[in-house]
Amino acid sequence: MNNDTASRIRESAHDLMAERGYFGFSYANIAESVGIRKASIHHHYPSKIDLAVATLKESRASLVQAVGGLDHAEADPLRRLKLYIHHLVECIHNNHRPICIAALLSAELPALPDEIQVEVKQHFDFLLLWVKRTLKEGAICGNIQLRRSAEMEAQSFVALVHGAMLSARALGSPALFHSITEGALNSFRSRE
């Protein structure tokens, strides 16, 4: 088995978790999706917990890389937040990874194994830290207005983004996500 197979297994697990949640898929679903035997999946990921943890770690690594790219490429903190939201809008609109699996799994958190709970929390910890740092930077340079502490604004922003993702999914309305998140971004604009 090569690394490509492990990657395809994680991709399938990601898509299945986004579609059905942690408890809604099995190795049989992945075997069918990837076109391999269940024993091959167990070779790479001995348990479903191992697979979910690896998938969440990969998802967080993608987030770290993406926001790192935004930090490097875009000097304007408010613009960075807009680009982050724009990426999510595109994902939802094109139905490509239409929901953050960490957000989805957070709804199942009390029932999830401890190892998966840790990964979900680490995803949110990282995202909150990035948003808070970005908001503080924007407040310092004057293009973001904070009404409360950067910590509270970051918590509210992340909750709003992920809540909007869930609402857009439930109502089948990608436009709803865009509308809600645009309002959140507008609330940060400095008023002169």
SS3 for 28-95 is: HHHHHHHCCCHHHHHHHCCCHHHHHHHHHHHHHHHHHHHHHHHHHHCCCHHHHHHHHHHHHHHHHHCC
Q: Residue 144 in 3-state DSSP? A: strand
Q: How much is the CA Rg of the chain, to the nearest whole Å?
A: 18
Q: How far is 166 from 22, CA to CA, in rounded Å?
A: 16
Superfamily of chain region 52-188: Tetracycline Repressor, domain 2 (1.10.357.10)
* Tokens representing residue 104 in the block: 């989805």
64-99 residue pLDDT tens: 999 999 999 999 999 999 999 988 888 777 665 667
107-129 residue pLDDT tens: 899 999 999 999 999 999 999 99
Q: How far is 106 from 21, CA to CA, in rounded Å?
A: 10
Ranges of beta strands (E only) in 105-177 are: none
Confidence band of 1 (pLDDT split at 50, 70, 90): very low
**How high is the pLDDT of residue 19?**
87
Does the reported pTM lie above 0.85?
Answer: yes
